[in-house]
A and B are shown apart, each in its own frame.
Chain A
Amino acid sequence: MPAVRGDGMRGLAVFISDIRNCKSKEAEIKRINKELANIRSKFKGDKTLDGYQKKKYVCKLLFIFLLGHDIDFGHMEAVNLLSSNKYSEKQIGYLFISVLVNTNSDLIKLIIQSIKNDLQSRNPIHVNLALQCIANIGSKDMAEAFGTEIPKLLVSGDTMDVVKQSAALCLLRLFRKSPEIIPGGEWTSRIIHLLNDPHMGVVTAATSLIDALVKKNPDEYKGCVTLAVARLSRIVTASYTDLQDYTYYFVPAPWLSVKLLRLLQNYTPPSEEPGVRGRLSECLETIFNKAQEPPKSKKVQHSNAKNAVLFEAISLIIHNDSEPNLLVRACNQLGQFLSNRETNLRYLALESMCHLATSEFSHEAVKKHQEIVILSMKMEKDVSVRQQAVDLLYAMCDKTNAEEIVQEMLAYLETADYSIREEMVLKVAILAEKYATDFTWYVDVILNLIRIAGDYVSEEVWYRVIQIVINRDEVQAYAAKTVFEALQAPTCHENMVKVGGYILGEFGNLIAGDTRSSPQVQFELLHSKYHLCSVATRALLLSTYIKLVNLFPEIKNRVQEVFKADSNLRSADVELQQRASEYLQLSIVASTDVLATVLEEMPAFPERESSILAVLKKKKPGRIPDDVRESKSPLPTVAPTAILNSTNNTNSSSADLLGLSTPPGSAAPTTGNGLLDVLGDLYTSTKISPSTVQQNNIKKFLFKNNGVLFENELIQIGVKSEFRQNLGRIGLFYGNKTQFPIQNVHPELHWTDLHKLNVQMKPMEPILEAGAQIQQMLTAECIEDFTDVPSMSVSFIYNNVPQKITMKLPLTLNKFFEPTEMNGESFFARWKNLGGEQQRAQKIFKAQGPIDLTGTRTKLAGFGMQLLDGIDPNPDNFVCAGIVHTKMQQVGCLMRLEPNKQAQMYRLTIRSSKESVSQEICNLLADQF
C-alpha cells in the first residue's frame, strides 16, 4: 500500500487495498456490496456519526462510484459535510457533490446556502473551494444565486489573486449557462483591464473569460485588442528568465500567449490603429524568428510549447488573411514540419496548410509542397495523418494540378483504408467535375472510381455522371464507347451496370455503327449481367431494353422474348412484373412514332451546384474548405428546357413507363414520372423529403380522419374527411407557409384499382398566395374492396424552382366501416360461422413499444369498427365488429386482438365473409400497436 498524503484515511486505504486484492470481478462486487451495506447501516443507524466518519464513508462511496458502480445515497451526508468547520471534511463534501450531484437535485438549495456561507469566509482557501464547486456544477440556479456576487469579487481591489483567478473562470462557467448575468457598462472596462494585471495567473484566467464575452459582444469589448497585443508583445520579447515560473521549458508563458492569440482571432486585423497593427506584426515575426532559432532544450516539452504558440500565430495569420508575406512565411515553416520526425507535428502542419490553401495569398505557396503531401498520403503509418493529407490535396487542387492529384488519389484509393474510402470517392468525383476541361477525362475518372471502389460510390455520384453526360453532347459518344468497353470485363461492379445500362439506353445508337458494338452485341452484353443484378438494377435495365427497341427496331423480337420470360413477366417482384408487362405491351401496341415520342432522349438537367458537394459537406461539416477561388461551375448554364411540368403533362401514363423511380419494395406505388423526377427531386429539392412523412401519416390516419397530411418548410396540407356507407368526402387544405406565392399548384392522383375505388377531385386555383390557405374537395366512392391506397402528387413552382411532393391519401378500406353493436351470443355465433379457411386472416406481431392497453383501445375506437366490451372472457383482449360498405356488397367483419404482455406480442384475427377483406383489414392493423 503506497503512502497516503495528507491526513490519510486509513479505513479508506484498507478498503481500496481489499478491492485491489480481489481475485475476480465477482469477489470485487461482493466486497463492494458488503461495504455499501455497512455504510448504509452506519448512515441509518441511531449512533450519530462524527465528521471524520462521515467523511470517510462519503469518500468510500466516491471511490465505489469511480469504479463504475451507481451510487444512490450519501448525498445528504455529503451536504452535511459542507457546513463542517474542518476544512478536510468540507473539501470531501464538495468533491462528492461536484462529482455526483446533478444540477436538478433537491439538495441544490442546501448546497447553495453552504456555498454562500463559504464565499463570505475570510479564508481565501474556503472561498476558492466554494468557487470551484460553482464552476464544477455551474447550474442555472447557481447563476441566479451568484450572478451578482462573483463579478464584484473579480474586480474588487481587496480580492486576493488566487481568488480572482477562480472567480474569473467561475463567472465564465456561469456565463456559458446564463449569458445574461454579465453586467455591462463600467464593468466592461474593468474586466478588460484584467489583461493588465501584474499577476500572470490572473491574466491567464481572465483571458478565457474575455474571449467568451467578446464572442457574445465584440463591439463592447473591442478595447481588449490593444491590451492583448501589448501583453503579447511583452511576453514574446521577454527572455525566458523574466517570467520565472510562467516560463515552461524555456518558452515564456505559452498558455497565455496562445489564449491571447485566440482572443485576437475574434477580430479583423486592427486597421484603425496602425500602431497596434504594426506591433502585432512584430509579435508574429518574433514568433517566427524564435521558431527558427536552435532549440534551447532537447525535451519534447520545449518544442511542443514553442510550436503550440507558432501554430496559434499561424491560425491568427490565416484568420486575418491580409499579410501576404506572413502567409507565405507560415507556409514555408509548415513545409518544414511536413518532414519532421514527430507525427504530431506532421499532422498539425497538414491540417494548418489546409487552411492556408484557401487563401489567395498562400495557395501557390502551398502547391509547392504537393510532392511531399502525396507521399504523406501514401506512406504515413497513421490513418488520421493520411486523412489530413487527403484533405490537404483536396484543398490545394486547382486547374493546374487537378489531373495529377486526381490520378494520385485514384491510385491510392486501391489500397486506402476502408474508413476513408467513401469520402475519398466523393472528393475525387468533385475534383474531376470541378476542374474538368475535357469531359472525356471526367467520364474516365468516374468509371475508374466505380471500377476501383464501386462499393463506395454512392448514388449521388453515379447519378451525377449521367446528368453530366446527358447535358454535354460532345461527350456522349465517348461515354457510350467507354461504358461499353468497361462492361466487357468478366466481372464488373453493379454500379457500372447501372451507369452502362443508362448510357447505352440513351446513347447506344452513337456507337452502333461499329460492328463490334452493334445493337445485338450491346443488348446481349447488358443482358449477360442482368441475372446477377439486384432488383433495382434489373428494373433499370428493363427500361434500357425498351429504349433500345426504340433505337434499334431490328432487335425488337429478341427484347420481347426477354420481357416475356417467366422470370420477368411472372417475376415475384411486382415492379419487375409491371415493367416487363407494360414495356412488352408498349413494344407491341405502339407505332414507331409513338414509341419515339414516348422514349425520346432525356432532356437536359438544370444546372446547379453539384449535389455531391452537399453530401461531402454534410459528412464533414467545417472541414471542407469553402472554395472561393473558383466557385463557378465549369459547366455552361443550360437553359432548363424541359423541367417536368405536370400541368401540361397530358400523357402521364406513358411518362410512367420510363419510371425508374420507385425502388421495388417501397411502400408507395410508382407515382413518379421517370428518372428525371428522381434526379430532379434529388437535385432541386433535396431539403424536402416527403417519403418519411407519408409513412407516418398514413399510419396515423388509419385511426383518425383529420390532421396534417404533409408539411415541409414551404407548404402544409391538412385533411378533414367524413364517410357515410360507401361514400366519402375529403377536404384538403393547402397552406402556403412562405412569404411568396406558390404557383402552378397541380395535384394529381394515382392509384391502380380504378374499378374498385372511384375518386374525383374538384379543380382548384393554381396559385397559392403567400400565407394563404385554399381548400379542395375530393369525393370517394368505394365500389369494391380495395388494397391500393391512392397517392397524390402535388407539383408546384416556388421561387422559379419546380417542386414535387407525393403523399398517400388517408383513404383506406377501413374508412368505409359501419360499426355494429351485438351481444356476446350473436358475436360468437357469427365468429363460428366465419371459421372457414377462406374467411380468416391472422397475424402475430411484436408490440411497437411496451403494451399499452388504453392506447390500443383509443386507436381501435378510431379505426371504424365497434369495440365490444364484456364479450371476450379475457378482459385484456379486444373484440370488434363492423360492416364494410362497398357498392357491390356489404361485408360483415369481426376482429379479435389478443395482447400477450409477457411476450410483448399481439395476435390479430380477422374474420369476414370475404377473403380479400379479411386480408386487407388484417394487413392494415398489423404492426400498428
Chain B
Amino acid sequence: MMQFMLLFSRQGKLRLQKWYVAHPDKLKKKITRELITTVLARKPKMCSFLEWKDVKVVYKRYASLYFCCAMEQEDNELLTLELIHRYVELLDKYLGSVCELDIIFNFEKAYFILDELVLGGELQETSKKNVLKAIAAQDLLQEEETPQGFFEDHGLG
C-alpha cells in the first residue's frame, strides 16, 4: 500500500502531496522536509529505491520535478516506478506535454487524476484510456454548467 506521494521541484518546493495514512500535520511537514532533503542529496545514477525509516521510498525525476512514493516493505519497487510513469503519462496526455508549471496551475486536476489512478493507497485503474475517460466525463459535467464568474474575474462584477 502506498503511504503517501510527494511531487517536488529540484529546488525542494513541494508541488503536490497526497497522504494515504493519517498523520498529524506537524509530522507530515517533518516527513516531507526530511524526505525532500534526502532525495535531493542523491546523485543521478543512484538507485531509485531507498530504505527510509520504516518505508520503502521509490522516486524518479522527470525534468525539474521529482515524483516520490513511500511504499510498504512488501510492495513491488519496479512497478511503483511504473505507476509513477503512468501518472506522468496521464498528466502529459491531459495537460498536453506537461511541465512543472502546468501542475502548479492545475493542481486540482492533478489531484483528480491521481484519485482515479490510486485510491486509498492502492492502484485502482491502470488503463490510460479508462482514466482519461473518467476525467473527460467529469469535464463534460462542468461544461454543461453555465459559465460563471467571467465578469467578476474581469473586474466587471
Is the pair A204, B124 in contact by a Cβ cutoff of 8 Å?
Answer: yes
- Identify A7's interface contact among B85, B123, B143, CB under 8 A: B143
Q: Find chain B residues with CB under 8 A from A248 CB.
A: 82, 86, 126
Is the pair A7, B145 in contact by a Cβ cutoff of 8 Å?
Answer: yes
Is the pair B120, A11 in contact by a Cβ cutoff of 8 Å?
Answer: no
**Given A132-B115, A204-B124: A66 and B152 within 8 A (CB)?**
no
In the complex, A870 Cα to B21 Cα: how many Å?
A: 55
Is the pair B78, A201 in contact by a Cβ cutoff of 8 Å?
Answer: no
Tell me the nearest residue of chain B to A383, going by C-beta.
B46
Is the pair A201, B138 in contact by a Cβ cutoff of 8 Å?
Answer: no
Is the pair A384, B149 in contact by a Cβ cutoff of 8 Å?
Answer: no
In the complex, A67 Cα to B49 Cα: how many Å?
A: 27
**Given A305-B82, A344-B49, A384-B46: A125 and B141 within 8 A (CB)?**
yes
In the complex, A30 Cα to B64 Cα: how many Å?
A: 27
Q: Find chain A residues with CB under 8 A from B34 CB.
A: none
Is the pair A16, B105 in contact by a Cβ cutoff of 8 Å?
Answer: yes
Tell me the nearest residue of chain B to A63, going by C-beta.
B107
Is the pair B108, A92 in contact by a Cβ cutoff of 8 Å?
Answer: yes
**Given A95-B108, A125-B141, A205-B122: A307 and B78 within 8 A (CB)?**
yes
In the complex, A95 Cα to B109 Cα: how many Å?
A: 10
Interface secondary structure of A, over-half rule: helix
Is the pair B105, A1 in contact by a Cβ cutoff of 8 Å?
Answer: yes
In the complex, A132 Cα to B123 Cα: how many Å?
A: 13
Residue B17 interfacial (CB < 8 Å)? yes
Q: Find chain A residues with CB under 8 A from B129 CB.
A: 245
Is the pair A87, B51 in contact by a Cβ cutoff of 8 Å?
Answer: no
Tell me the nearest residue of chain B to A199, going by C-beta.
B130
In the complex, A246 Cα to B129 Cα: how many Å?
A: 9
**Given A52-B148, A165-B124: A66 and B119 within 8 A (CB)?**
no
In the complex, A3 Cα to B78 Cα: how many Å?
A: 33
Chain A 243-259, CB-CB to B under 8 Å as 1, else 0, gives 00110100001111011
In the complex, A169 Cα to B2 Cα: how many Å?
A: 13
**Given A52-B148, A68-B29, A138-B120: A200 and B127 within 8 A (CB)?**
yes
Is the pair A6, B142 in contact by a Cβ cutoff of 8 Å?
Answer: yes
Q: Find chain B residues with CB under 8 A from A307 CB.
A: 78
> A616 to nearest B CB, angstroms?
16
Q: Find chain B residues with CB under 8 A from A53 CB.
A: 149, 152
Is the pair B124, A205 in contact by a Cβ cutoff of 8 Å?
Answer: yes
**Given A2-B105, A255-B123, A382-B47: A301 and B85 within 8 A (CB)?**
yes
> B107-151: which have CB < 8 Å to A?
107-109, 111-112, 115, 119-130, 134, 137-139, 141-143, 145, 147-150
In the complex, A588 Cα to B12 Cα: how many Å?
A: 71
Residue B50 interfacial (CB < 8 Å)? yes
> A145 to nearest B CB, angstroms?
16
**Given A87-B141, A88-B141: A170 and B119 within 8 A (CB)?**
yes
Is the pair A348, B124 in contact by a Cβ cutoff of 8 Å?
Answer: no
- Identify B138's interface contact among A4, A87, A245, A259, CB under 8 A: A87
Is the pair B127, A348 in contact by a Cβ cutoff of 8 Å?
Answer: no
Q: Find chain A residues with CB under 8 A from B109 CB.
A: 5-6
Q: Find chain A residues with CB under 8 A from B107 CB.
A: 62-63, 66
Is the pair A201, B124 in contact by a Cβ cutoff of 8 Å?
Answer: yes
In the complex, A63 Cα to B13 Cα: how many Å?
A: 13
Number of residues from A at the complex interface, CB < 8 A: 82
Q: Find chain B residues with CB under 8 A from A305 CB.
A: 78-79, 82
Q: Find chain B residues with CB under 8 A from A632 CB.
A: none
Is the pair B81, A344 in contact by a Cβ cutoff of 8 Å?
Answer: yes
Is the pair A66, B106 in contact by a Cβ cutoff of 8 Å?
Answer: no
Residue A10 interfacial (CB < 8 Å)? yes
> B55 to nearest A CB, angstroms?
13
**Given A170-B119, A173-B120, A246-B126: A66 and B47 within 8 A (CB)?**
no
In the complex, A131 Cα to B124 Cα: how many Å?
A: 12
Residue B30 interfacial (CB < 8 Å)? no
Is the pair A208, B148 in contact by a Cβ cutoff of 8 Å?
Answer: no
Residue B14 interfacial (CB < 8 Å)? yes
Q: Find chain A residues with CB under 8 A from B48 CB.
A: 343-344
Residue A327 interfacial (CB < 8 Å)? no
Is the pair A20, B104 in contact by a Cβ cutoff of 8 Å?
Answer: yes
Residue B31 interfacial (CB < 8 Å)? no
> B115 to nearest A CB, angstroms?
5
**Given A2-B105, A4-B105, A308-B78: A56 and B149 within 8 A (CB)?**
yes
Q: Find chain A residues with CB under 8 A from B79 CB.
A: 254-255, 258, 304-305, 308
Number of residues from B at the complex interface, CB < 8 A: 69
Q: Find chain A residues with CB under 8 A from B122 CB.
A: 169, 172, 205, 208
In the complex, A198 Cα to B131 Cα: how many Å?
A: 18
- Identify A91's interface contact among B14, B43, B112, CB under 8 A: B112
Q: Find chain B residues with CB under 8 A from A255 CB.
A: 79, 83, 123, 126
In the complex, A9 Cα to B148 Cα: how many Å?
A: 9
Q: Find chain A residues with CB under 8 A from B139 CB.
A: 5-6
Q: Find chain A residues with CB under 8 A from B106 CB.
A: 4-6
Residue A285 interfacial (CB < 8 Å)? no
Is the pair B120, A125 in contact by a Cβ cutoff of 8 Å?
Answer: no
Q: Find chain A residues with CB under 8 A from B153 CB.
A: 9-11, 14
Q: Find chain A residues with CB under 8 A from B104 CB.
A: 16, 20
In the complex, A136 Cα to B116 Cα: how many Å?
A: 12
In the complex, A128 Cα to B78 Cα: how many Å?
A: 29
Chain A 83-123, CB-CB to B under 8 Å as 1, else 0, gives 00011100110010001001100000000000000000001
Residue A166 interfacial (CB < 8 Å)? yes
Residue A436 interfacial (CB < 8 Å)? no
In the complex, A204 Cα to B81 Cα: how many Å?
A: 18
Residue B45 interfacial (CB < 8 Å)? yes
Residue A185 interfacial (CB < 8 Å)? no
Residue B94 interfacial (CB < 8 Å)? yes
Residue B22 interfacial (CB < 8 Å)? yes
In the complex, A486 Cα to B109 Cα: how many Å?
A: 68
Q: Find chain B residues with CB under 8 A from A730 CB.
A: none
Q: Find chain B residues with CB under 8 A from A59 CB.
A: 108
In the complex, A572 Cα to B143 Cα: how many Å?
A: 85
Q: Find chain A residues with CB under 8 A from B43 CB.
A: 381-382
Q: Find chain B residues with CB under 8 A from A13 CB.
A: 105
In the complex, A120 Cα to B24 Cα: how many Å?
A: 32
Q: Find chain A residues with CB under 8 A from B76 CB.
A: 258, 262, 308, 311-312
Chain B 34-61, CB-CB to A under 8 Å as 1, else 0, gives 0000000001011111110000000000
In the complex, A103 Cα to B22 Cα: how many Å?
A: 8
In the complex, A170 Cα to B122 Cα: how many Å?
A: 10
Q: Find chain A residues with CB under 8 A from B121 CB.
A: 173
> B109 to nearest A CB, angstroms?
6
Chain A 265-280, CB-CB to B under 8 Å as 1, else 0, gives 0000000000000000
> B30 to nearest A CB, angstroms?
12
Is the pair A7, B147 in contact by a Cβ cutoff of 8 Å?
Answer: yes
Q: Find chain B residues with CB under 8 A from A50 CB.
A: 148
In the complex, A686 Cα to B123 Cα: how many Å?
A: 44
In the complex, A51 Cα to B149 Cα: how many Å?
A: 10
Is the pair B82, A87 in contact by a Cβ cutoff of 8 Å?
Answer: no
Is the pair B47, A343 in contact by a Cβ cutoff of 8 Å?
Answer: yes
In the complex, A208 Cα to B96 Cα: how many Å?
A: 32
Tell me the nearest residue of chain A to B22, going by C-beta.
A103
Residue A622 interfacial (CB < 8 Å)? yes
Chain A 48-60, CB-CB to B under 8 Å as 1, else 0, gives 0011110010010
**Given A68-B14, A92-B108, A103-B22: A166 and B124 within 8 A (CB)?**
yes
18 more contacts with CB within 8 A, not counting A9-B153, A66-B15, A385-B47, are A5-B139, A16-B105, A62-B107, A91-B112, A136-B120, A162-B130, A165-B125, A169-B120, A246-B127, A248-B126, A255-B79, A255-B123, A304-B79, A305-B78, A308-B78, A344-B48, A348-B49, A382-B43
Query: Which 9 pairs show the lowest CB-CB distances between chains A and B?
Result: A173-B120, A308-B78, A10-B153, A87-B141, A135-B120, A308-B79, A245-B127, A52-B148, A169-B119
- Cβ contacts A to B, 20 pairs, < 8 Å: A2-B99, A5-B109, A50-B148, A53-B152, A62-B107, A91-B108, A125-B137, A128-B134, A136-B120, A165-B124, A173-B119, A258-B79, A301-B82, A304-B79, A311-B77, A343-B46, A343-B47, A381-B43, A382-B47, A384-B47
